[in-house]
Structure formats: C-alpha cells, structure tokens
Amino acid sequence: MKWHDLNADACPLARAMGVVGDRWTLLILRECFLGVRRFDGFQKRLGVTRHLLAERLKRLETMGVLERHPYQQRPLRHEYRLTPSGKSFAPVLLAMQDWAEHNLPSPTPTPFAFVTRDGGEEVEPVVTDRKSGQELTHRTVLMVPKPATGQSAADLPTTDRAEDAALARPTAK
Amino acid sequence: MKWHDLNADACPLARAMGVVGDRWTLLILRECFLGVRRFDGFQKRLGVTRHLLAERLKRLETMGVLERHPYQQRPLRHEYRLTPSGKSFAPVLLAMQDWAEHNLPSPTPTPFAFVTRDGGEEVEPVVTDRKSGQELTHRTVLMVPKPATGQSAADLPTTDRAEDAALARPTAK
DNA sequence: ATAATGAGTTCTAAAATAGAACCGACTCAG
DNA sequence: CTGAGTCGGTTCTATTTTAGAACTCATTAT
C-alpha cells in the first residue's frame, strides 16, 4: 500500500495518517500552536532537515491545515498559520500529550503546558460525550464496525469481540 | 535526528511520535480496539507487509502498549492485547477520528462508530477540562512553554505569540 | 565589499518500507 | 503416509523516504 492511498481511505483514521502519519508533522503542528510561524523557526526548534520541513509544510498547506501568508514583499516571504482546520486539531494534541505524559515517562519535565486563555490555569484534558457529558474511555465506549452502508465487517472476529468487550469491561474486578 | 532519539525527548508529543509516528501504528491500534488480536488478522485487514507488522507489534509490546499472550501451546502462538496503557489510548483515537471526519472529507462513509458500552448509542467526543468541564479548543486553551525547571524557551517568538493569541481569540469577529 | 538572513532547492548516503518468497511446527483430509 | 492448509513469523531484493550537508537567490546590515 502506498502513502497516498491513505488519503482516499474510508477510515478517517487512515486519512489522518495520510496527513500526520510521520515523525514530524505533529511536532510541526505543536510548534504552530506555540506560535512559531516561519520556516527557520520550525527548522531551528525541531532540527528537522530543511528538505523535509519544506515538504511537510507544503503538504499541510495542500491539506488545508496551514495557510501561507505573505509578511513582506522584497523579497517575498510567507509565514505559515493554522487554518480553522488546523486550529481544530488542538484537542488531538491535548489528548495525545496527556496520553504520552501518563504512559511514556521521562526524567525531564514537560517543557510546555496547556492553560486557559482566560485565567491561565493549567487544564487537565478529558474526552467526554457532548450529549451526556460522560467521560469516554475504553471502559465506557466501544468501537464497532458499521455494517451500515455497503461493505463487509466480515473478517472481524465476532466471538473474540464479545470476549474482548467482556475483558475490557470492569467485570470480575 | 534519528528515530530513537524521540523516545528520550523532553516533549511528550515527541515521545508519542516515537511510538505512533508512522503510517501503521495507529491503524494497528484501531484494529486492536475493534477486537483484532492475531498476526494474520492485522495483516489481512490492514494490508501492511508482514515484515513491518512484526516490527510494529514488537515495538508496541516493548513500549508497553500491547502485550503478548499465549493462546495455544504446540505450536506456541501468541495473541496481542491492549495493556492498560494501550487502552488509555482510546481518547486519542476518539479525538483523531473526530478531527479527521470533520476535516478530511471522504465520499465513503466512516466504516465504524464509537458507541457507549451500555446503551450502544453513538457518542460525540469533546475534549473538556476535568475540573471546570469547559470545552477545550484553540479558543479556550493556550499552549505555553514552561520556563519552569531549567531550559530555554528563548527562541520562541514572544511578540508573534501575543499576536497569535490575539488572532486565535475571537476578537474583532 | 563582505557578511548575514530567510526560505528554500539540490545533492549523496543512509535508513525505512514494499512486496514477494520462504520456513517451521503443527493440523486435518484422504 | 502424503499433501494441502494455517499461523506467525523471517529473509530477500527493489523502491521510497529521510538525513545531512552544501548551494542558491534576493535583500538588508556592516
């Protein structure tokens, strides 16, 4: 399977991998959220090669996550800014950061924090259901194939699934 | 910069990229949440090469996200299951899926859904602050460098930052 | 005139990935 | 007992990606 095939995949997660499925892209977005906007800013802070950085920025632009904005003529220079799509990526960063902080320990402390814009207090991200407000974790939520429109979920282990559901649920514990 | 250096990075997001920073790993985890547990199950559903799949599973195991579990002797065979760390990755998947669904459109409908374990209703994931319950987006939350313990945030564009904050805040709009 | 800045592009070498074939330890059908 | 099939890999070569450094071009600063 080729890289580009992912962009057309039916699964949103696969399409997401077509955009952020590499070592650098998410870190570039992190820098965007930290306020970095220029080529050399990204390059110096990340240590990514200029070649790759140029390519990634181009991709993020064509995918509508960043947009280039001229900040001077003569010579013409652009800076990169988050589009609405890019800005709406923030919750993913929050969730990912929170997971990594709790599950991939490090001797050095986290070099940044998420704070409220008003107040400036540090936040603790939780994924919840908009309607019920219930916290969404592996214990409360289940991922199910949609046989809905069209195609197979045929090769999914149906017995294993039930087993798994039982296992993940706080049974006998 | 090499792959492996990421695992020791001070930034949790960088460390996360050391684990899920490639095209396949997140999709393997998706399959785990869908109940797939065996080598051939992953291979057939994802179309990833056996070589890479073996490597990724090994990495996920050593990073403590999956664990191997013998399901038969003679010949000895293992299946892969989510560890608590792996299970706690669910919110990231939720957030990512939601972002991609809203920002990377596709003609084909999403082939799976997240439903509550009790009830079975589809959920709509929102990232909120645990304490205040406030929804966390680019408008309500700000990512700030922590000059706290030790090192520099020196090369961050401080003026640009303020500008950016103003821009992202719903001012003059 | 010389150096520096900013945003790239262009090289070559090294690493990762794709794709297919192979292997070992079985089980099962005939 | 033979041959086909399953499962979970490993090994191989060919192709893509990535790393790392050097180079370009326009312009400003010294």
Domain ranges of chain B: 3-88, 89-125, 136-173
Residue of A nearest to B146 (CA): A112
Contact B118, A129 (CB under 8 A): no
pLDDT over 70 percentage in chain A: 82
Q: In the numeric block, which tokens belong to residue B165?
A: 């904050």
Q: In the numeric block, which tokens belong to residue B160?
A: 């640009």
pLDDT tens for each residue of B67-85: 999 999 889 999 999 999 9
Least Cα separation, residue A70 to chain B (angstroms): 15
Q: Is the CB of B94 under 7 A from strand D?
A: no
Work out the pLDDT band at B166, boundaries 50, 70, 90. Answer: very low
pLDDT of residue A157: 64
Interface residues 25-64 of A with strand C (CB < 7 Å)? 38-41, 49-51, 54, 57
Using C1' positions and the CA of B53, the closest nucleotide is D9
Question: What is the C-alpha separation between A29 and A87, in angstroms, rounded?
Answer: 9
Interface touch B12/A101, C-beta < 8 Å: yes
pLDDT tens for each residue of A22-61: 999 999 999 999 999 999 999 999 999 999 999 999 999 9
At CB < 8 A and 24+ separation, what contacts does A164-168 make?
A164/B35, A164/B37, A165/B35, A165/B117, A167/B81, A168/A138, A168/A139, A168/A142, A168/B82, A168/B87
Higher pLDDT among residues B102 and A157, named by residue:
B102
Higher pLDDT among residues B167 and A71, named by residue:
A71
Contact B83, A104 (CB under 8 A): no
Would you say residue A171 has pLDDT above 60?
Answer: no
CATH topology of domain B3-88: Arc Repressor Mutant, subunit A (1.10.10)
Nearest by CB to residue A95, choosing from B95, B100, B149, is B95
Interface touch B35/A164, C-beta < 8 Å: yes
**Residue B130 gets which letter from DSSP?**
T
Other Cβ atoms less than 10 A from the Cβ of B89: the count is 25
Interface touch B104/A36, C-beta < 8 Å: no
